[in-house]
Amino acid sequence: MSFYLYDSVKKDKLEFKSIKENEATIYVCGPTVYDDAHLGHARSALSFDMLKRTLKALGYKVTLAKNFTDIDDKIINKLANSNKTLEELTQYYIDRYLEDMSALGVERADVEPKATESIDAIESMINRLLESDCAYKIDNGDIYFDTSKDSKYGSISHMVTEDEQNISRIEANSQKRNPKDFALWKACEQKDVCFNSKVGMGRPGWHIECSAMIEKIFEGDENYCIDIHCGGADLLFPHHENEAAQTRCALNKEIAKYWVHNGFVQIDGEKMSKSLGNSFFLKDALKIYDGELLRYYLISVNYRNDFNFNEVDLLNSKKRLDKLYRLKKRLYGGKVGQVNKEFKNTLIEAMSDDLNSSKAMAIVDEMITSANDSLDKEPKNRALKQEILANIKFINELLGIGAKDAIEWFQQGVSSEDKAKIEELIEQRAQAKKEKNFAKADSIRDELTAMNIAIMDLADGTKWEKL
RNA sequence: GGCGGCAUAGCCAAGUGGCUAAGGCAGGAGCCUGCAAAGCUCUGAUCCCCGGUUCGAAUCCGGGUGCCGCCUCCA
């Protein structure tokens, strides 16, 4: 089966042809670890988690690297107001990031390089750029990349123009050869946030770390370092433009064969920001909503589109995901059989079309309806039940949803005392029903409703769910 | 100022030249049920506006209008 991916540099949906047959190499620009992860980080991580899962389902051996930028101006600023070391501070946020992403079902990357642990690769690349005069050092020790040395500069973002007016906001520095030149290395004096390297005392610029890490981690071929380079839409310029330029000048090849960018998350139609006070940290969202639900909600929209996060839509997603778990609950404790091949292929096919998760979810919904219908007609068909459970298992492999215990799913946040009380009330109601005392049965149901508990009388007894 | 994206039923959202425009939520009708809930069945849009290309366009081109993003750290 062919895999198609929208390349945001070529602006076209292309058939994926990996550098090495049946192997796929992916690099994702990860977070700068100076604060907790927000919904935007989640969306990025989820997009490329789906990419990895889909390629694996198609039979590729996937290697995904996601970096942590653990040295940067904002980290240094934060350090000034804390009594932690650089490593303590960044490791704290790395752990927080991984914890939050784990709650969303994001698989760990195969390689997780840190900038501070890649100084050797960075200084090596900077040295080569200096030797070939693609980079130059100015009086204060800063090292800049000379964008005029890269004839293809601008080919990634299509953002570079000759018009001087457009670049008025770029850092003014009289020693820079070209206004667009960017820092590869920032000289500094403070020892606690600087590294002693062959290119001087200082710290790496943001862009060089990705180029250097990719060179260090992946082999590539004579034309490309990796198959797919991923990141948020905002990274296209200047970050990815600069990465591409550095790699071209240092290695004489392109950094990536395909470029994939995910769209932004807005909250209630407004850009996320601390000043707006819209709760945008993942940890806050996870206090209220289940991680799997957030995952399901966030992947319900194509990864390239902007995403407008709001509670109404989130609760709609909850109802939709509940249907999957209700089906799973219907088959509770049953054996998992063989997945339906047609279902599996249709689902992979949807994801193979530029990760069309919306379509994949529609296919899941159709499977749920058809499965419920079949179960209504043939409640004792064991083979059918086993196949449906296998289908649900495959949904989890590909989309990362539906793996939880179906009973627990509907009882999240209910204490064991409340559970006992609910069971007791249901028992009393069953007795009242048996005696045809419907008034009493209904009043017990009202009592449960007041506790936010919904009940449903099924063939095999009364089941309850937390609303 | 420069570059780019988006606009599909009450809401969310697939679909990028051609069968009756996916799917979900909400709403309506029915089956089932002591009544409900759950589940199942049926039910809704000609695709922001104008013009063009074409036998044929939501889908391509041009022009509007509106919203958003990037150009400075940012997923």
Q: List the domain boundaries for chain A.
A: 4-262, 267-408, 411-466
Provide, in whole angstroms, the distance separating residue A264's CA from nucleotide B6's C1': 12
Provide, in whole angstroms, the distance separating residue A267's CA from nucleotide B11's C1': 16
Helical H segments across A218-270, by residue range: 241-251
Q: Which positions on chain B have an atom < 7 Å from some protein CB? A: 1-6, 11-15, 22-26, 33-41, 68-75
Helix H or strand E segment including A450: helix A438-450
Instruction: Count CB-CB contacts under 10 A for residue A209.
Output: 28
B13: residue with closest CA to C1': A301
Provide, in whole angstroms, the distance separating residue A168's CA from nucleotide B3's C1': 15
Count Cβ neighbours within 10 Å for each residue of A398-423 and write b for 16 or more, e otherwise: bbbbbeeebeebbbeebeeeeeebbe
| ipTM given for this complex | 0.95
- Strand A23-28 to strand A61-66: parallel, antiparallel, or no bridges (unpaired)? parallel
Phi-psi region at A226: left, alpha or beta (left = phi > 0; alpha = psi -120 to 50): beta
- Alpha-carbon separation of residue A457 from A425, A462, A465 (angstroms): 14, 4, 12
Task: Determine contact, residues A203/A194, Cβ cutoff 8 Å.
Answer: yes
For residues A265 and A217, give the distance between their C-alpha atoms in angstroms, rounded to a whole number. Answer: 30
**Nearest nucleotide from residue A375 CA, by C1' atom:** B39
Phi-psi region at A236: left, alpha or beta (left = phi > 0; alpha = psi -120 to 50): alpha
As given in the structure block, the two tokens for residue A89 are 């501070």
Tens of pLDDT, residue by residue, chain A (467 residues):
899 999 999 989 999 999 999 999 999 999 999 999 999 999 999 999 999 999 999 999 999 999 999 999 889 989 988 889 999 999 999 999 999 999 999 999 999 999 999 999 999 999 999 999 999 999 989 999 999 999 999 999 887 655 444 444 445 566 889 888 999 999 987 666 889 999 999 999 999 999 999 999 999 999 999 999 999 999 999 999 999 999 999 999 999 999 999 999 988 777 776 655 565 899 999 999 999 999 999 999 999 999 999 999 999 999 999 999 999 999 999 999 999 999 999 999 999 999 999 999 999 999 999 999 999 999 999 999 999 999 999 999 999 999 999 999 999 989 999 999 999 999 999 999 999 999 999 999 999 999 999 999 988 889 999 98
Helical H segments across A331-356, by residue range: 341-352
The phi and psi torsions of A350 (rounded to 5 degrees) equal -60, -45
For residues A213 and A112, give the distance between their C-alpha atoms in angstroms, rounded to a whole number. Answer: 10
Provide, in whole angstroms, the distance separating residue A261's CA from nucleotide B59's C1': 23
Provide, in whole angstroms, the distance separating residue A157's CA from nucleotide B15's C1': 28
**Nearest nucleotide from residue A72 CA, by C1' atom:** B73
**Nearest nucleotide from residue A237 CA, by C1' atom:** B70
Provide, in whole angstroms, the distance separating residue A379's CA from nucleotide B43's C1': 28
Q: Which residues contact A10 (CB under 8 A, 6 or more apart)?
A: A259
Provide, in whole angstroms, the distance separating residue A376's CA from nucleotide B46's C1': 37
**Nearest nucleotide from residue A354 CA, by C1' atom:** B14
Q: Which CATH class is domain A267-408?
A: mainly alpha
The position carrying tokens 């006992």 is: A420
State whether CATH 3.40.50.620 applies to domain A4-262: yes
For residues A156 and A259, give the distance between their C-alpha atoms in angstroms, rounded to a whole number. Answer: 9
**Nearest nucleotide from residue A11 CA, by C1' atom:** B4
What is the three-class DSSP state of A281?
strand
**Nearest nucleotide from residue A43 CA, by C1' atom:** B75
